[in-house]
Structure 1
Amino acid sequence: MNIGKRLRAAAAGALLAPTAVTLAAGPAHAVVKTADTMASATSLAQVRSIIGADTGSAATLTGKGVGVALIDTGVASVPGLPATQIVNGPDLSFESQAANLRYQDTYGHGTHMAGIIVGNDTATGTKGIAPGVKLTSVKVGTSTGAVDVSQMIAAIDWVVVHRNDDAANPIKVVNLSYGSGGNPVTWTDPLQFAVEKAWQAGIVVVAAAGNNGNAAGALTNPATDDWVLAVGATATNGTTATTDDTLAAFTNLSSTTTAGAAGQVDLLAPGTSIASLRVPGSNVDNLYPSARVGETLFKGSGTSQATAVVTAAAALLLQAKPTATPNQVKDWLTKGATALTTGTAATLGLRELNVNGALARTGTTVTAPTLKLSSGTGPLQGSRGTSSMTLDGVKLTGERTVWGTFTSSQWASTKSSGTTWSGGLWLGNRVAGDGWTGTSWASRTWAPATWTATPWAGSAAGWSDPAWSGRTWSGRTWSAGTWSGRTWSSDGWSAGTWA
């Protein structure tokens, strides 16, 4: 799958800058795109102004009381993230089997997304768009962004089951800056079934459209689903005015020629050279030092970044209108957005996020999606598509999850009954611990577990990776060395740009 696009063995997020690698959205792998030529970073204060979140009714909102789930590469405990605002859900990544890497962000993508949403970097005055939300990090990606679609589905399932664990901050929004390389039959696709069930459970699913370019012909899965909020990126061209904003060239578009049609981008948001939190010593930090902005920030471009902006905006809207349904949130955000007047965006009728415009929408009746829902009974391989994980040269393919066999009809049945998870068991496989602890840098953490299943490659080393040794997070930076594990890689995600 990919982060913002697809997850190949490179990056899982998107940053555009002098020389950048942009990450998009997808749940399996991340691919690095061509270097960006934009030299200046776009601050989160500028983003807030562009989307109208610093004036009018929006200016008083912080997202307080709203829970957001970030399914990504984990969140590092950098000083710019307030510990009281962060919760660690289960670590479902391969790195969960290494205590020194568990929950932490070895790649640098998840922390960048978290900074956009809830960051508070006092050193630079950088503040996230919704600094009052409670963010639950569910780690699925490794230091290369590698993750299988089965890990993404398990993560979505967990969020649905545990959305109300914190009564004061129920999870109402999930951020998917990942995307799969699959192009399955939509009415049976398991991944789309998973996000549709989250939507029906009252969770707004915000998914990156992908970073394969305007000529891609289709969005990445699950952004293709009509029951999610599919996000593309705008190039803000160095100003806070929207009159000169254009559709970012890396954003996936559907071959459909009108906005609002099934399978097309629903909403645009700033996504070029966004300056957010840096993870010193992480994979992307080592690979793209020119993306650093001072000591604490890093700039990147992609539909991943745009997705995080929209996720934060949805949280602001839900703070103001806490009883709003996902359909209403999508309707108000899309119809309250600002029409762009230049280029492809104008031709297609695409609009850019405007928080005050969404707040001004009145009425409670909205038109729900009309497309047929997925049954979830299709092949998992269809969801995975080209986003195949590789372990010691052996690809994970067919009807198998990371942890064992997968029968889609049985999973769909348990999904409908809300029983895919039982404690730390997913579909009967031990993938995490059985409950919450209070032992992390964050306010709470879901307990870990040792995986007992045999890797699909039958590796004698089990789930271990030599690269795990010698990597230590000091609380401010990762220890020396390159992230060159021998085992985990993926070739399906598309990346963004890291300068």
Structure 2
Amino acid sequence: MAMVTMPAVLSVAVPTVASAADQPARAVAWASTTNSASPATSLSAVRSIIGADTGAAAALTGKGIGIALIDTGVAPVPGLPASSVVNGPDLSFESQAPGLRYLDTYGHGTHLAGIIVGDDKDTGTRGIAPGAKLTSIKVGTASGAVDVSQMIAAIDWTVKHRNDDSTHPIRVINLSYGSGGNPPNWSDPLQFAVEKAWQSGIVVVAAAGNDGNAVGKLTNPAADEWILAVGAAATNGTVTTTDDTLTAFTNLSTAGNQVDLLAPGTSITSLRDPGSNIDNSYPDARVGTSLFKGSGTSQATAIVSAAAALLLQAKPGASPEQVKDWLIKGGTFLPNGKAATMGLLELNVNGALGRAGTTVAKATWNPSSGTGTLEAARGSSHVMLDNLALNGERTVWGPMITAQWAPKSASQTAWSGGTWMGFRITGDDWTGTSWASKTWAAATWTSVAWSTNKTWTDPAWSGRTWSGRTWSTGAWTGRTWSSDEWSAASWR
């Protein structure tokens, strides 16, 4: 099938990503790619496809399990109960605008949140793990501006605070992004961060990427051998798996870690974020007034993250290695195309439950030292401030030496209250206010950013407000960003 790939276009000057080499920017590959003729796949259909609506799996909801969604935030849309969502710290550039803080101005995070914990009574749209508790950690803005240092800080925070909610400890991290870099896996700081999360007992689920079967590598951190790398299966509009195939847009690797597991990833119908970037850009992806279609390894990753929560509810003592092994080996064989020849299996929750309890060897992959460069992790994608690229060994908030960060990350001391590696980024505790059931406090960034004359002490926003459920565009004054927007974005 011919694939349709379109850039996400936002007509206002807002924080976003740009490539120093004028290549497609991909600081975060949240964006999806899809076939415009692909029939919608409801979450009810997804449950049938992955074997979550029959047998022992049918009684599971993810109750007692926390899932961290490191993404573009979550909007208070119908079908997303406030009791199911916690707003962790907003680490995005939009955190400095009170009217945007925690909210999903792009639309991606809300779509994934619906897949995981949605419960829309009006349409019957119900997430795969509606009993789980979702912690949203916002790092992306309306146009995708995010640096790899923000991703790393978000993962560090999640590990540090995984047990804050004793009734729903965070056992799963959903990473539906890929950095623009292809660094050595033995020293990459982003891979080091996800490995430390894994070793702390968190199942890390990452999107393989939407660059195509021939790209030859998975996006980072899905390229890390420790964690669970997810590709997308085409459902072809049916609930049987006999006609499911590997999507042409899923990244495959010719060396290193390969896709571990497939999950439905074409035209998945989930919650709409009215007035968000994707909602304005792709009105033909709307399904009724409250739902939206999206395709990609992002959606497939959210489905697997929710399935991991179901498995952990059934087997709360399971290690990440066990969950990964049971999910992979319990999958359904797909008889057609590359999935068949490569032996890639599609998620089957009952199949995983059937393997639960089997012996799984402890992982022995070589770990990352974490001492590689931030610049290598970024690759060709850089955020830009007044035409100045953030590059080299600098975070969004100031300089950082990874050799000093790595031991702090490993000992979970990189964060102290709302300070990460000495930079004040957020407030110190769960004392913020938002629509969600619980919210981490905010703070003003006062440290020097990536140029000695550029700081975040006075970001002025005008014309941007969130009114009810509608995002109203306007201009960001005082600071300008340049960008070629998010790459490979198509929602239909």
**Contact 1:303 1:496 (C-alpha < 8 Å) held by counterparts:** no
- Residue 469 of structure 2 corresponds to residue 476 of structure 1: yes
Instruction: State the Cα distance separating 1:274 from its structure 2 match.
Output: 0.6
Identity of aligned residues (%): 70
Equivalent residues in 2 for 1:318-467 (5 A)? Answer: 318-437=312-431, 439-457=433-451, 462=456
Give distance in 1, aligned partners of 2:199 and 2:88.
21
Alpha carbons 1:45, 1:126 under 8 Å: kept: yes
Cα deviation code 1:93-126 (max 9, x no counterpart): 0000000000000000000010000001122110
Contact 2:207 2:301 in 1 (8 A): yes
1:261-297 CA-partner distances (Å, limit 9, x unpaired): x410000000010111111111111111111111001
The secondary structure found in structure 2 opposite 1:437 is coil
Q: Which residue of 1 aligns with 2:163?
A: 164
Query: 1:60 is matched with which residue?
Result: 59
Partner of 1:140: 139
Aligned partner of 2:480 in structure 1 is 487
Amino acid at match of 2:322: Q
Moved more, 414-423 or 475-484: 475-484
C-alpha deviation, 1:457, in angstroms: 4.5
Q: CA deviation at 1:178?
A: 0.8
Residue 27 (structure 1) shift: 8.3
Q: Which residue of 1 aligns with 2:96?
A: 97
Q: Please tell me whether the aligned partners of residues 30 and 298 of structure 2 are also in contact (alpha carbons under 8 angstroms).
A: no
Q: Per the alignment, in what secondary structure is the counterpart of residue 470 of structure 2?
A: coil
Cα 1:212/1:482, change in 2 over 3 Å? farther
Q: Cα RMSD over matched residues?
A: 2.2
Give matches, 1:4-83, under 5 Å: 28-30=27-29, 36-83=35-82
Contact 1:10 1:29 survives alignment (8 Å)? no
Deviates more, 1:182-191 or 1:387-396: 387-396
Q: Match of 2:209?
A: 210
For the 8 Å contact 2:33–2:488, the answer to whether it is kept is no
| Segment drifting more, 384-393 vs 320-329 | 384-393
Deviation at 1:459, TM superposition (A): 6.0
1:55–1:486 CA distance, 2 compared to 1 (3 A): farther
Structure 1 unpaired stretches of 5+: 1-7, 12-25, 257-261
CA distance in 2 between counterparts of 1:9 and 1:421 reads: 34
**Alignment-mate amino acid for residue 313 of structure 2:** Q
Contact 2:32–2:294 at 8 Å: present in 1 too? no
Aligned equivalents of 1:296, 1:484: Cα separation in 2: 32
Aligned match for 1:268, one of 257, 262, 274: 262
Secondary structure of the equivalent of 2:469? Answer: coil
What do the CA deviations read for 1:21-50 (whole angstroms, capped 9, x no partner)? xxxxx9833486766222421110011110
Partner secondary structure for residue 329 of structure 1? helix
Counterpart selection for 2:310 from 307, 316, 324? 316
Deviation at 1:363, TM superposition (A): 3.1
Q: Which amino acid aligns with 1:224?
A: A
Give the whole-Å Cα distance in 2 for the aligned partners of 1:161 and 1:496. Answer: 33
Change (3 A) 1:108 1:362: closer
Q: 1:489 to 1:448 in 2, by over 3 A?
A: farther
- TM-score, length basis structure 2: 0.91
For 1:23, the equivalent position in structure 2 comes to none
Which stretch of structure 1 is more off in the superposition, 147-156 or 388-397?
Answer: 388-397
Q: Which amino acid aligns with 1:470?
A: G
Q: CA deviation at 1:437?
A: 1.7
Measured in 2, the distance between the counterparts of 1:279 and 1:341 equals 36
| Structure 2 alignment gaps of length 5 or more | 1-6, 11-24
**Alpha-carbon deviations, 1:328-360, whole Å to 9, x = none?**
000000000001110011111100000000000
Judged with a 3 Å threshold, the aligned counterparts in structure 2 of structure 1 residues 218 and 136 are, in CA distance, closer, same or farther, namely same
Does the CA contact (< 8 Å) of 2:270 and 2:292 recur in 1?
A: yes
Task: Measure how far apart 1:391 and its partner are.
Answer: 1.5
Please tell me whether the aligned partners of residues 119 and 127 of structure 2 are also in contact (alpha carbons under 8 angstroms): yes
CA contact (8 A) 1:388 1:491 kept: no
Distance 1:351 1:92, change over 3 A: same
Change (3 A) 1:299 1:243: same
Q: Shift of the alpha carbon at 1:79?
A: 1.5
Deviation of the 1:453 alpha carbon: 1.7
| Distance of 2:88 and 2:482 partners within structure 1 | 23
* SS of aligned partner of 2:233: strand
- 1:87 matched to which residue of 2? 86
Equivalent residue letter for 1:244 = D
> What SS does the corresponding residue of 1:473 show, helix, strand or coil?
strand
- List per-residue Cα deviations over 1:50-103 (Å, max 9, x = no partner): 000000000000000000000000000112100011000000000000000000
Partners of 1:442 and 1:453 in 2: how far apart? 29
**What's the offset of the Cα at 1:394?**
1.3
Write the distance in 2 (CA, Å) between the matches of 1:10 and 1:374: 37
The alignment covers a number of residue pairs equal to 472
1:186-335 equivalent positions in 2, closer than 5 A: 186-256=185-255, 262-335=256-329
- Name which of structure 1's ranges 361-370 and 436-445 shifts more when overlaid on structure 2: 361-370
User: Match of 2:93, as an amino acid?
Assistant: F
